[in-house]
Amino acid sequence: MFHDRAEALRHVDELPRLKNADAQKEIVAAIIDTRNLELCGKARGVRIEGYDYGVICTNNVALALAKEKQDPSYCTMLDNKLVSVLKCEFDVAFSKALAGQDADVCTTLSQEGVLACTSAYWNTRARDENNVSLCANIPTAASQKECEESYRLSRLGVEPDFVSCGDLSTANLRAGCDELKKVFAEEQAGVGECRALANIWAMPYCEAYMMKTAE
């Protein structure tokens, strides 16, 4: 419709009057690229396929700014229907905690969010640093156990004998572990086999392994 984003932006003031939905979408996409929340107001009331594209625009820009600036104040601008305020705040806190290697950043969240963020933080560091003892920093025994088991599962592709699937705490984990071991043992296995796994939770472990071996 338009040659580029710059041309689309020149038609911002025409947005409410345009009859072509594709042209309207292109203009909104161009506004989102500018990260200008004020410009999103130009799309307010423009409804396409049942959605207010002013809301769509604000959600996209606020979410992008929250992540790029690691500033949770932008999360409060979300509509909390199409995009969750709490999820946004969690993602920002978790990202800041990892970037600064400071789990205390998680304390800015609600009580439930603090545990989830702290657990995710130590879980990630345990895997990245190949150090399961870091799981002991998680404040609850149940979450520590989950961290330890997640760490062991992450080592399956590197040290398949390191994990005894029968020692995992739930039938679901044991079944997924067995599936992963079978896939990792196949020389010609790829991402397609990962997507065919019966245990959905095991797919990210499988895909991460396939991507690493393909490097």
The model's pLDDT over 12-54, given as tens digits with 9 standing for 90+, comes to 999 999 999 999 999 999 999 999 999 999 999 999 999 999 9
* 8 Å CB contact between 190 and 210: yes
> Considering only 127-131, 146-150, 177-181, 205-209, which range has the smallest mean pLDDT?
205-209
pLDDT digits (tens, 9 = 90+) for 113-156: 999 999 999 999 999 999 999 999 999 999 999 999 999 888 88
* Dihedral sign (CA 78, 80, 86, 90): negative
Position 212 scores a pLDDT of 78
Amino acid 201: pLDDT = 87
- Residue carrying the six token digits 């991460």: 208
CA distance 100 to 112: 22
Which residues make beta-bridge pairs with 48?
51
Helix (H, G, I), strand (E, B) or coil at 47: strand
Q: Are 177 and 193 in contact (CB under 8 A)?
A: no
Which structure tokens are listed for 101?
């290697």
Whole-model pTM: value is 0.80
Q: What is the pLDDT of residues 90-121, one digit of tens each?
A: 999 999 999 999 999 999 998 889 999 999 99
